[in-house]
Amino acid sequence: MEAFSAHRLALSKAPSVLKFSSIELLIFFINPSENTHTHIMIYLKTMLKCIDNSGAQMVECIKVLRKNPKNFASIGDKIVCVVQKARPSTSTITGASASNRVKRGDIVRAVIVRTKKETQRPDGSVIKFDDNACVLLNKNDEPIATRIGSVVAKELRDKNFNKIVSLAPKVV
């Protein structure tokens, strides 16, 4: 009788645990105590900053290329993302930057340039940034934009994104 009731109890508890998906649980465990709401790791649904002049401000990751769903993107990895927030287009912008502009709802490729998750370097030092950021790419893995706003990580040079490194104002 006692064993039966214990079994019932376990069953009643089970659904409450199953409510969370694995990703939600992960976020719960690694939830930063800081006031920022950025994910620590980059996977499906992660919102990233876009730091180039393509017009996109915030993008949402929908696929990390060449990785399984359990894995996450690190610096130099390519992702597919949706533009969720874009700067309003004005008629004053002309030239190459005008033709390469993206709108809200566009599906584009991007490369990760900064992560909040710490990455280890071959010399033993570990680097982490305060946010996740990306730069939009075209089909040939070249940046769409002509300018890059802020800091990028040094690892991009090893992954053949030399153009991004040379455009960036600061490489850490």
Partner 1 sequence: MLLQSFKALRARSCLVSTSITQTAGYKTQYLGQKVVKVYQPLPKLREGTPLMKYVKENQYKKLDPNGVKKNLLDKSNPNLLRSGDIVRITYNNKQPPLVGMVIAVKRNGCDSNILLRNSYAKLGVEIRVPIFNPVIERVDILKRPTKYRSRNKLYYIRGTKLDVTDIESSLKKQQRRSN
Distances (CA, A) of 102 to 5, 55, 68, 137: 60, 6, 28, 11
Where do we find the tokens 């927030």?
85
Q: Which residues pair with 82 in a beta bridge?
A: 60, 107
Does residue 30 belong to the site contacting partner 1 (CB under 8 A)?
Answer: no
Does residue 125 belong to the site contacting partner 1 (CB under 8 A)?
Answer: yes
Does residue 151 belong to the site contacting partner 1 (CB under 8 A)?
Answer: yes
Task: State in angstroms the smallest separation of the CB of 121 from partner 1.
Answer: 9
Q: Which two tokens stand for residue 108?
A: 């584009």
**CA-CA distance, 154 to 90, in Å (whole number)?**
34
Structural element, H or E, at residue 150: none
Where do we find the tokens 């109890």?
9
Does residue 141 belong to the site contacting partner 1 (CB under 8 A)?
Answer: no
**CA-CA distance, 90 to 95, in Å (whole number)?**
13
Task: State in angstroms the smallest separation of the CB of 133 from partner 1.
Answer: 9
Does residue 131 belong to the site contacting partner 1 (CB under 8 A)?
Answer: yes
Question: Is 71 or 162 the residue whose CB approaches partner 1 more closely?
Answer: 162
Does residue 7 belong to the site contacting partner 1 (CB under 8 A)?
Answer: no
Does residue 129 belong to the site contacting partner 1 (CB under 8 A)?
Answer: yes
Does residue 37 belong to the site contacting partner 1 (CB under 8 A)?
Answer: no
Residues at the site binding partner 1, with contacts judged by CB under 8 A: 34-36, 114, 118, 123-131, 150-151, 169-170, 172
